[in-house]
Structure 1
Amino acid sequence: MRIGIDARYAEDNFTGIGKYIFNLALNLSQKGNEVVLLYSKQPKQKIEGKNIYSKILFFRNKFLFEQLSLPIYLKKEKIDIYHAVGNLGVPVFSPCPSVLTVHDIIPLLVKDYFKFSPFGYFSKLSYLLRLKISLYFSLKVISVSEFTKRSLVEKLGVSEKKIKVIYNGVFVGKKKERLPSQIKKNRYILNHGGIDRRKNLYRLIKAFSIIVGEFPDYKLVITGKNYKLESNLLNLVKKLKINDSVLFTGYVKEEILWNLIRGAKCICFPSEIEGFGIPVLEGLAAGVPVVASNTSGIAEIAKETAVLINPYDISEIAKGIKKVLIDKNLRNNLIKEGLKRAKKFSWQKTVDEVLGVYKEILNCKAKR
């Protein structure tokens, strides 16, 4: 099978959807499929493997990329099936069947999501138009969680029959590189979900400031990059006088990230809303106790294998972290149950189910 994948989310650093693209491409190619990754610019990191090819299409503009460049290329290269993996990106006039993966529709669920966008209302209209086109013109929609499926049905009226829930997998990276020098000698609590308003880092830092006096040898380590928000968070850290106890690492490459995850005493992920919550699953798979929000896709993935907290309650976040640090029996049970839970999520299983969707669509097309 010749599969075209929208790889724009893998052009820069690999975050959530970038990891999805990487693992999807790798596993599809290993099963003998030809995978063509479609970019709008030169990627920082190439995804390489047997039967994996890259193509940079003309037009950086999102709408022109999706509605003009894509259909021309898909027809010219005789792609069997096209997979838009980043919530949007399905062309109206596609020469081949299209599949859409929706990780979340957070812009429609979070009040004032577009408030800080330079184009405000226009950004919302553009997002809605592209989303509705993608949902309408895709033959099948893959949702990464039941939470996202419910959101699509209730908020946008998508037919349940059109949606297939396929969970993300998890791949535990190999231990290759050492931790950064400022971390390796310290005990630390890790948040590696990226810096974004909905990640709730403001409350996490405040919660950490409550318990840091009891755990003076612990640091709070936050990965990811967002210059404006990071500046605001640094000001909060200074105001709380915990400068020496909070470390912002910036973007961390995958090999170091897995060492960071393994070395943590606790993963704390108090995000307000997530379609899935990859950092939670990564913590479980690495055998690290997790404190996470009791909301959205996060609770669905973690279930009883994490300490679930109200992300809007600072004292509850603090109590959750403290509980994991001092209660050995709880820690051991979370580690044991977390590892069991993580085994239910593999990229091989995910890709087998995705392939099942492709084959179902192609079989229906052949019968017409």
Structure 2
Amino acid sequence: MRIGLNLLHMHDGIGGVWNYVENLVSALGHLDKQNTYIVFVSRQSQCLVPDQKNFQKVLIRINPLKAGHRILFENTILHYYGWKYRLDCFHWFANMLSPFLIIPGLVTIYDLLPLRNPGSYSRIKHLYLKIVLNITAKKAKSILPISNTTGLDIIQILKPKTDKLYVLPIIINDTFKPSQKGEIKKFKNRYKLPDNFWLYVANFYPHKNHIRLINAYSDLKKQGGNPWPLVLRGDSGPDTGTTKALIKAEVKKLNLDKDVIYLPRLAYHELPLLYSGASALIFPSLFEGCGIPVIEAMACGCPVAASDIKVVKEFAEEAAFFFNGKSIGNICDAMAKLQSSTRLREKLTNKGISRSRFFTGERVVEKLLSAYKGSVS
């Protein structure tokens, strides 16, 4: 088959989506030598194309940050490219398909946040995304949610025409494993991190629930819990700058400036060192398509306390300590229990490493190849 991959929306500021797509495309390059892949990329995403004979890169001079220009291109000229390269099917990775697509289309859907939590968007953007998601559900030959939870949302809310849903979870590559102590020490010295610290890896969106976390941390400190410093690793941009400003204001109001550390953007190869160096991951997010940092942390031997939302429970199973993310008291109690119990942290570490081994490239690529075949049959 000749399979098109549309990576024009990709840029390194989109957080976990970048990791998800990078690992999936890399696994395709490693495991599938038979099909031919035509990959449409911008300068920002061209690094994602595997250096394999059956992968052909088509560089489009378009800025993925200018969504209007990209969407116009995808709905016009990209269709010509699909015909020119004689594609059998076309995989889109940005929650949407063009309504004008003639080639059998597959779409990766990460979550239905615009429909589950419309308040996160402006009224115009919410209306646009609602229309696009409904068109996509009717247009797609196969839909590729990244979790069973998202798959169920798609069936219940979008009512797609196709019954071909293939759940493709995150792939955890071999670099995510417990790091050597010497390397962890160098990493901590480089970023001036303390010996013990809480870690939260999440961009600064409202549903990531930083404000409740900051208040829970403050309560723990008031109770004499002597909490480890809290390290926040997340990007801010046009959609997140306001939320980050609110978080910083809350930190200042609660006199936690010396307790909260903001890490700059890290290179991808540094993430395993960050997780390995953390004493525990706290993950209070209220909505996720997957919860990638939870799986990455577990793979690196970092114990996890997480919000008890369905999708995180789906992926972590018994390998995380769960709490109600809407309750500041519950978050505080979870942090207190995890910090005070070495035995609990060791138990979660062992279970987490074992659970993370489920997310292999072989499992996911096998399903994806079935989806490609199914879309043209």
Superposed CA offset, 1:47-98 (max 9, x none): 243234433436652431221122111111122321112211x223334221
The equivalent residue for 1:283 is: 297
* Partners of 1:43 and 1:138 in 2: CA distance: 26
The equivalent residue for 1:18 is: 18
| One-letter amino acid of the structure 2 residue matched with residue 55 of structure 1 | V
The equivalent residue for 1:251 is: 265
List aligned pairs for 1:130-209, cutoff 5 A. 130-158=132-160, 161-173=163-175, 178-179=187-188, 181-209=190-218
| One-letter amino acid of the structure 1 residue matched with residue 15 of structure 2 | T
Query: What is the Cα deviation at residue 130 of structure 1?
Result: 1.8
| One-letter amino acid of the structure 2 residue matched with residue 92 of structure 1 | P
Superposed CA offset, 1:97-138 (max 9, x none): 211111101111014122xxxxx3221222122212222111
Q: Which has the higher contact order (CA 8 A, sep 6+)?
A: 2
| One-letter amino acid of the structure 1 residue matched with residue 28 of structure 2 | L
List aligned pairs for 1:117-128, cutoff 5 A. 120-128=122-130
1-10 or 15-24, larger mean C-alpha shift: 1-10
* Partners of 2:93 and 2:84 in 1: CA distance: 21
151-160 or 336-345, larger mean C-alpha shift: 151-160
The equivalent residue for 2:233 is: 223
* Partners of 2:292 and 2:40 in 1: CA distance: 24
Q: Secondary structure at the match of 1:287?
A: coil
| One-letter amino acid of the structure 2 residue matched with residue 125 of structure 1 | L
Distance 1:313 1:130, change over 3 A: same
The equivalent residue for 2:108 is: 101
* Partners of 1:74 and 1:352 in 2: CA distance: 24
Contact kept, 8 Å, 2:13 with 2:235, in 1: the verdict is no
* Partners of 2:206 and 2:174 in 1: CA distance: 27
Contact kept, 8 Å, 1:71 with 1:91, in 2: the verdict is no
Contact kept, 8 Å, 2:201 with 2:293, in 1: the verdict is yes
Distance 1:172 1:315, change over 3 A: farther
Superposed CA offset, 1:155-192 (max 9, x none): 12225823222322212426578246344443111111
* Partners of 1:20 and 1:148 in 2: CA distance: 15
* Partners of 1:44 and 1:212 in 2: CA distance: 43
Query: What is the Cα deviation at residue 3 of structure 1?
Result: 2.4
The equivalent residue for 2:5 is: 5
Query: What is the Cα deviation at residue 37 of structure 1?
Result: 2.9
Contact kept, 8 Å, 1:11 with 1:45, in 2: the verdict is no
| One-letter amino acid of the structure 2 residue matched with residue 292 of structure 1 | A
Contact kept, 8 Å, 1:190 with 1:222, in 2: the verdict is yes
Query: What is the Cα deviation at residue 215 of structure 1?
Result: 5.4
Specify every segment of 5 or more residues in structure 1 that has no aligned partner in the other structure, as ranges: 115-119
Distance 1:343 1:23, change over 3 A: same
- 1:300 paired with 2:314, answer yes
Report % sequence identity.
Answer: 25
* Partners of 1:245 and 1:198 in 2: CA distance: 22
Contact kept, 8 Å, 2:220 with 2:332, in 1: the verdict is yes
Specify every segment of 5 or more residues in structure 2 that has no aligned partner in the other structure, as ranges: none
The equivalent residue for 1:46 is: 47
* Partners of 1:70 and 1:45 in 2: CA distance: 16
The equivalent residue for 1:57 is: 60
* Partners of 2:159 and 2:227 in 1: CA distance: 51
Aligned match for 1:66, one of 62, 66, 74: 74
Q: Secondary structure at the match of 2:169?
A: coil
Distance 1:45 1:360, change over 3 A: closer
| One-letter amino acid of the structure 1 residue matched with residue 348 of structure 2 | L
| One-letter amino acid of the structure 1 residue matched with residue 335 of structure 2 | I
| One-letter amino acid of the structure 2 residue matched with residue 240 of structure 1 | L
Query: What is the Cα deviation at residue 9 of structure 1?
Result: 4.1
Superposed CA offset, 1:29-49 (max 9, x none): 22214333323x420772243
Q: Secondary structure at the match of 1:268?
A: strand
RMSD (Å), alpha carbons: 2.2
Q: Secondary structure at the match of 2:5?
A: strand
| One-letter amino acid of the structure 2 residue matched with residue 18 of structure 1 | W
* Partners of 1:58 and 1:68 in 2: CA distance: 15
| One-letter amino acid of the structure 1 residue matched with residue 235 of structure 2 | K
Q: Secondary structure at the match of 1:78?
A: coil
Contact kept, 8 Å, 1:25 with 1:35, in 2: the verdict is no
Distance 1:147 1:44, change over 3 A: closer
Number of aligned positions between the proteins: 356
Distance 1:2 1:14, change over 3 A: farther
Distance 1:24 1:44, change over 3 A: closer
The equivalent residue for 1:117 is: none
